[in-house]
């Protein structure tokens, strides 16, 4: 078949060399037309072996292109070019160019920035800390001694006996409080890691820790700040639920749920049929934590909270599987 293609090539070139003005159209029809020799040759390529087919297809295509260009040059030389008849598609110089696709921040980054912006607007300042954390900051100083059952709630990736990938952003409470005196009003955004994966859990996810320490801070202040945050982040009438919970470093503690925006509270796969989705844990900082870092619990009180950014982004955008954020599928990402 290769011989046949090459034979057709030289036959066409010989014919082209002798072409007069009146022969242009018959030549185009015979060699380059939709029912021409090159087109039928290409149809026959289906009979070639699967191994040879790509190479022969390319060869035939290249020759056809080359012939089309030579034909267009001949047409020009003979002054016989006609609109709509040319074998080479004409170039429309008035068409607008194709613009380069424009990148943008990942949806999780966008939501992280929005969350931080809301708290900054409420007077919180931003602090950042290490992803690889010591057992002391991640657990011990937060009132979670070795062998405490609360360690089981965090499926920890250990780097060594005393180093680990932080399981939450709460170590930033300790890092900040050991370096600064009250009043404090801080947020600490960052990556955290847990050995956990399903439609609402990923092994790496983002939290924003927030804490406020001063004299006479109460649970009402915590409720006020979180209610303002949720109203700004979602709709002003978003349903909010403070559910009693337990964290070793806060007392009392609560988990905060908002009405599932995916099913409007009716119950779906994402909210596990409850109509609610947990977005954060919170509470009043336990006096035992103040004692560890040397604050006087009789003078100071404070609240803290830690919220999951991916969960908030799921609710905001109606995403039903958290793992979509990390599959790097541009069809998903380019929607944001």
Instruction: Give the binding site for ligand FA5 (CB under 6 A).
Output: 168, 170, 194, 196, 201-202, 205, 207, 209, 247, 250, 253, 278-283, 304-308, 310-311, 322
Structure tokens at 256: 């905060």
Minimum distance from residue 216 beta carbon to ligand FA5 (Å)? 19
| Closer residue to ligand FA5, CB minimum distance, 24 or 257 | 257
| Closer residue to ligand FA5, CB minimum distance, 143 or 207 | 207
Minimum distance from residue 303 beta carbon to ligand FA5 (Å)? 8
| Closer residue to ligand FA5, CB minimum distance, 5 or 115 | 115
Question: Can you list the positions of beta strands (E) in the chain?
Answer: 125-126, 132-134, 163-165, 184-193, 204-214, 240-247, 250-259, 276-285, 301-308
| Closer residue to ligand FA5, CB minimum distance, 12 or 285 | 285
Using the CB atoms, write b or e for 108-137: b if 16+ within 10 Å.
Answer: bebbbeebbebbeeeebeebebeeebbbeb
Give the CB-side neighbour count of residue 48, counting CA atoms within 13 A. Answer: 20
Contact 19, 7 (CB under 8 A): no
Mapped onto helix, strand or coil, the DSSP state of residue 241 is strand
Distance CA 192, CA 166 (A): 6
| Closer residue to ligand FA5, CB minimum distance, 135 or 278 | 278
92-101 CB contacts, 8 Å cutoff, 24+ apart: 101/334
Minimum distance from residue 210 beta carbon to ligand FA5 (Å)? 8
Distances (CA, A) of 36 to 20, 55, 158: 19, 21, 70
Minimum distance from residue 94 beta carbon to ligand FA5 (Å)? 51
Token pair 């021409």 in the structure block, residue: 36
Q: Beta partners for 254? A: 244, 282
CB atoms within 10 A of CB 32: 19
Distance CA 138, CA 142 (A): 7
Mapped onto helix, strand or coil, the DSSP state of residue 256 is strand
| Closer residue to ligand FA5, CB minimum distance, 143 or 170 | 170
Minimum distance from residue 185 beta carbon to ligand FA5 (Å)? 14
Distance CA 281, CA 243 (A): 9
| Closer residue to ligand FA5, CB minimum distance, 92 or 152 | 152
| Closer residue to ligand FA5, CB minimum distance, 71 or 295 | 295
| Closer residue to ligand FA5, CB minimum distance, 185 or 311 | 311
Q: Beta partners for 305? A: 210, 282
Structure tokens at 3: 């011989």
């Amino acid at each position: 078949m290769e011989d046949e293609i090459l034979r057709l090539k030289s036959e066409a070139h010989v014919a082209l060399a002798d072409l007069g003005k009146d022969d242009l159209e018959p030549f185009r029809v015979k060699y380059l037309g939709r029912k021409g020799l090159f087109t039928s040759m290409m149809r026959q390529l289906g009979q070639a072996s699967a191994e040879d087919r790509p190479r022969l297809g390319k060869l035939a295509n290249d020759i056809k292109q080359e012939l089309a260009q030579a034909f267009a040059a001949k047409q020009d030389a003979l002054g016989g070019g006609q609109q709509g008849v040319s074998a080479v598609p004409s170039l429309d110089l008035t068409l607008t160019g194709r613009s380069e696709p424009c990148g943008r921040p990942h949806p999780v980054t966008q939501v992280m920035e929005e969350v931080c912006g809301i708290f900054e607007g409420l007077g919180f300042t931003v602090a950042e800390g290490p992803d690889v954390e010591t057992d002391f900051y991640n657990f011990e100083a937060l009132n979670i001694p070795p062998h405490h059952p609360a360690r089981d709630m965090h499926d920890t990736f250990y780097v060594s006996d005393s180093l680990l990938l932080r399981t939450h952003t709460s170590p930033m409470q300790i890092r900040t409080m050991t370096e600064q005196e009250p009043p404090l009003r801080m947020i600490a955004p960052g990556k955290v890691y847990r050995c956990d994966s399903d439609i609402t859990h990923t092994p790496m996810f983002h939290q924003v820790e927030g804490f406020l320490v001063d004299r006479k801070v109460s649970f009402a202040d915590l409720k006020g700040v979180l209610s303002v945050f949720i109203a700004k982040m979602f709709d002003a009438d978003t349903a909010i639920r403070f559910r009693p919970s337990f964290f070793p470093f806060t007392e009392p503690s609560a988990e905060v749920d908002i009405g599932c925006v995916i099913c409007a509270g009716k119950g779906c796969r994402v909210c596990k049929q409850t109509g609610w989705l947990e977005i954060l844990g919170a509470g009043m900082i336990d006096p035992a934590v103040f004692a560890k870092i040397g604050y006087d619990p009789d003078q100071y009180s404070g609240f803290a909270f830690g919220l999951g950014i991916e969960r908030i982004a799921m609710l905001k955008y109606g995403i039903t599987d958290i793992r979509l954020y990390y599959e790097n599928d541009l069809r998903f990402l380019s929607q944001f």
